[in-house]
Chains A and B, each alone.
Chain A
Amino acid sequence: MERITSPGSRSGSCRDDKQFDGEIEGLMTEDDLQEAAVVPVTESTFTALLGLPANQAIELLHETESVKSPEIPTADIWKDSQEDQRTFSYPFNCSLTFPTNAALVERAARFSVFASAQDSPERCSIPSISSENSPKLKAEPANSESNRSSSPILSSSPTIPKQNQKSAKRKEREKVKGSVKKSKYVENGNKDGEKLPYVHVRARRGQATDSHSLAERARREKINARMKLLQELVPGCSKISGTALVLDEIINHVQSLQRQVELLSMRLAAVNPRIEFSFDSLLAAESGCLSTGSFPSTLTIEPMMWSELQFNGERRQQHQNQHQQLWEVDLLQPPVWERENYNNYHPSENSVFSYNSSAESVSMHSNQLKMEL
């Protein structure tokens, strides 16, 4: 398994799982050591169990020790173990006095609960190493079961890291691939071992009730619902049956829309400088916009107001209270408008643009008007 160095919340949870793996593994080594103390066998058996040369195992335990000791709340025990190791001939750093091993296991169990809350700095070394040893862990519970009173806890706990590791492996695969089927993997991982919220789907008559197929069916239904929406959105798609053709049509539609946007922007860029703005035609265009689009109703009122304001100076007073900002611009413009000299006025267009009544735009328009006048 490759080392994971990418940060992220998912990798954080993976690291937590791996740390738990490492811790459990550390506990396992302790049990084995005690076993070895009973039987006068040295580290060779343990490493034989692990299938590793002695040096690697030592490195492994060193690393798990060194990384875990600053983080674990039960750091005192590890410190004790480190002190003890000097007195023993064993090359391992793990504790060889086990009066409180049951307490250790309980703490480890508690620690697993809080594992997700913690985030340790260096976990990259642990995952690769613990992953190597985790398949060997399955053999170890069999050995330790006969000995310890806490063995049932230990036998259950390796299954948890195994499942954690499975889901962690899956999560890593997802990270590496970035695959489409992530949701399916996560759902499978959820239903296998971890107690995360389930997707409640009722199996229909005549259909399989396997958890996998249920999850797949839920996913398929979700996708089909969204495809129906898309079909309604894209014109001419409702007649087509079959996912592939519909997708083809959708892709074509999106491409054509993007191309249209580009063409229109080119048109706007090319056309803009030569224009003489005429207020009436602008109003017509805006009303055309409004009829085709779905503007809020207040905007429809305003162009009508503007046209009235052009010809009836008296009516401005009626609209004072309602449209103060427009009226402010109005004050600067009345002589211009009464002259009906609209065509060359850039600011008139901008005054229409100040629909949204932002003070900045109005001040900008007033500045422009002053410049023009």
Chain B
Amino acid sequence: MNSKRLPSSPCPHRAKFNSRFLRALARINKDKPTSSSYQEICKRNWRIKIADDASMASAIGSRRVWSRVMLWKLRSRTSYRALIRSRAIGLKRKKQKVELSHADQLRQLVPGGEAMDFSNLLEEASHHIKCLTAQVQVMRSIADFYST
């Protein structure tokens, strides 16, 4: 196990991610009126997705290729919708799984993976998995808290 990588990276970034994400959530809650129409929910869903992506990416900073790609996508404001749509497309693409090789599939999943060679791709994928698990944990705990 590569000791230098695993224990060090989640800890400081996780605190940063938590704080930013919670602040963003609070802001989202504060701004909108408490209506539960479908459109409002969709809008908020979209904003929350943006918020958690942005907070995770900014917590990681520019250290990793995928975070840089995400930050760039978020900052070029025209492509917010494209970012969300690309995720949906990534989910739909599992139908074509047989046609693509493993490396290509991984490239599609990890943001910014198109332009990397295989070894770097694996490293970015491992880091991305770590951060995704952290994100999922935080969001799940918040959602559980809110639902009880």
Which A residues are within 8 Å of any B CB, using their own CB? 178, 180-183, 219, 222-223, 226-227, 229-230, 232-234, 243-244, 247-248, 250-251, 253-255, 257-262, 264-275, 281-282, 284-285, 288-289, 292-296, 299, 346, 349-350, 353, 355-356, 361, 368
The verdict on B144 contacting chain A, using a C-beta distance below 8 Å, is yes
A68 to B133 Cα, complex, angstroms: 56
A229 with B109: CB separation less than 8 A: no
Taking the nearest CB of chain B, how far is it from the CB of A207, in angstroms?
20
User: What residues on A are CB-neighbors of B138 within 8 Å?
Assistant: 289, 293
B119 with A258: CB separation less than 8 A: no
Beyond the given A253-B129, A254-B109, A255-B91, could you list 18 further A-B residue pairs with CB under 8 A, ordered by the A residue number? Answer: A178-B115, A180-B118, A181-B117, A183-B117, A226-B119, A230-B126, A234-B129, A251-B102, A255-B90, A257-B136, A258-B109, A260-B140, A264-B140, A264-B143, A271-B147, A272-B146, A273-B36, A281-B148
Interface residues of B in 6-24 (CB under 8 A from A): 10-12, 14-15, 18-19, 22-23
The verdict on B78 contacting chain A, using a C-beta distance below 8 Å, is no
A250 with B125: CB separation less than 8 A: yes
**Can you list 11 residue pairs at the A/B interface with Cβ under 8 Å?**
A223-B119, A229-B1, A251-B105, A264-B140, A268-B146, A269-B42, A269-B45, A274-B36, A292-B137, A296-B11, A356-B19
A269 with B48: CB separation less than 8 A: yes
A244 to B94 Cα, complex, angstroms: 16
The verdict on B132 contacting chain A, using a C-beta distance below 8 Å, is yes
B122 with A261: CB separation less than 8 A: no
A226 with B132: CB separation less than 8 A: no
Q: Closest chain A residue to B51 by CB distance? A: A265
Per-position 1/0 for B102-138, Cβ under 8 A of A: 1101100110001101110011011011101111111
User: What residues on A are CB-neighbors of B126 within 8 Å?
Assistant: 226, 229-230, 233
User: What residues on A are CB-neighbors of B19 within 8 Å?
Assistant: 353, 355-356
User: What residues on B are CB-neighbors of A281 within 8 Å?
Assistant: 145, 148
Which B residues are within 8 Å of any A CB, using their own CB? 1-2, 5, 10-12, 14-15, 18-19, 22-23, 25-26, 28-30, 32, 34-36, 41-42, 44-45, 48-49, 52, 87, 90-91, 94, 102-103, 105-106, 109-110, 114-115, 117-119, 122-123, 125-126, 128-130, 132-148
A271 to B25 Cα, complex, angstroms: 12
B137 with A262: CB separation less than 8 A: no
User: What residues on B are CB-neighbors of A247 within 8 Å?
Assistant: 102-103, 106
B22 with A294: CB separation less than 8 A: no
B128 with A254: CB separation less than 8 A: yes
A268 with B143: CB separation less than 8 A: yes
A227 to B36 Cα, complex, angstroms: 46
User: What residues on A are CB-neighbors of B90 within 8 Å?
Assistant: 255, 258
User: What residues on A are CB-neighbors of B105 within 8 Å?
Assistant: 251
B45 with A261: CB separation less than 8 A: no
User: What residues on B are CB-neighbors of A261 within 8 Å?
Assistant: 49, 52, 132, 135-136, 139
Partner of B132, one of A222, A230, A254: A254
A282 to B114 Cα, complex, angstroms: 41
User: What residues on B are CB-neighbors of A226 within 8 Å?
Assistant: 119, 122-123, 126
